[in-house]
Amino acid sequence: MRKLSRWLLLALTFCVAVAGFLIRRQQLAAELMPDGSLAEGSSLHLLLAALAGVLFVGLVAFLYPQPKKISWQQVFPTAAVPNLLLLVSAIGLIAGNVLLWRSGSAASAAVVTQSPEVSRALSMLLPPLGVVSAVCFAIFAVVRMAGKKPTPLLFMIASLYLIIRLIVCFQVWNTDPSIHDYAFQLLAAICCMLGCFQLAGFSFDRGHLRMCLFWTLGATAFCAFTVADTLHSGALSNVLINGALLLAMATCSACLLFTDGPLPQPEETAPETAPENELPAEEPEEAKPEI
């Protein structure tokens, strides 16, 4: 049952991600007006909402057979393929944040908020912190391929970047009168942030498999929705950042789902020894035969 639920989770997330990407692209092209309002007779927003509902219900149902806790050795494999995919996502995240910094679009968006100074400071901090977060992904991949335990700081720094990114983006989204413009981007940002936070818990030996999978699989699906938004807007920096997060969350989800590595064996305790001041019992002397 546990293996079957893993494949069902994988199939559910993949189908929702692909369907959501295609439907969202069609909605942006045909049904969503430039001011965020829906064209007359629009129905794709209902289908997207139904897909999100099916995803959440399916995740809760199919995650139940999975164990609550698992060791970090099983979650973070030393295999080359998942770690190389994390390296690719790190490269995409670096490229996207460098383009975002050079374009200055993050800092210019701060003027629309009620606290422009604080918002501008966070916006200027966002691209360099994104590069540092990408470097943490790369270090994590190299450390695991070397067979060593990763420090919790790697995913904690990534979580900090995603928190600041959510704050900066939401300040801009909050000025948009239509939730249809940013609903799935908001869900993707929240799921990515909580997914990285849960992944850091495994390095503390306090990871929860079900909760972590819920957020990473949700991030994978909603990042696919968001890629359609970024492709529609035409900003290459956002395409690279969201594509990198999609790849990272999908890779981490696969590692969490297929955790078939051996459990760590408990350390063997040394056999009890007799106290130093206690002498061994003397063996009885054998009776000598009489001559």
For residue range 26-39, list pLDDT tens digits in order. Answer: 988 888 887 777 88
Q: Exposure pattern of 4-38 as b/e (b: 16+ CB <10 Å)? A: ebbeebbebbeebbebbbebbbebbeebbeeeeee
Instruction: Give, as one character, the DSSP assignment of residue 32.
Output: B
> pTM above the 0.95 mark?
no
pLDDT value of residue 113 = 52
pLDDT value of residue 191 = 95
Rg of the chain in Å (alpha carbons): 26
Q: Find which of 87-96, 165-174, 180-189, 200-209 is predicted with most confidence, using mean pLDDT.
A: 87-96
* Helix, strand, coil percentages, rounded to 5, for the chain: 70, 0, 30
The full set of domain ranges for the chain reads: 2-257
Helical packing angle, 183-203 and 153-173, nearest 10°:
170
Tens digits of per-residue pLDDT, 241-263? 999 999 999 999 999 988 754 44
pLDDT value of residue 115 = 64
What's the mean per-residue pLDDT of the chain? Answer: 83
Tens digits of per-residue pLDDT, 110-153? 445 556 777 788 888 899 999 999 999 999 999 999 988 888 88
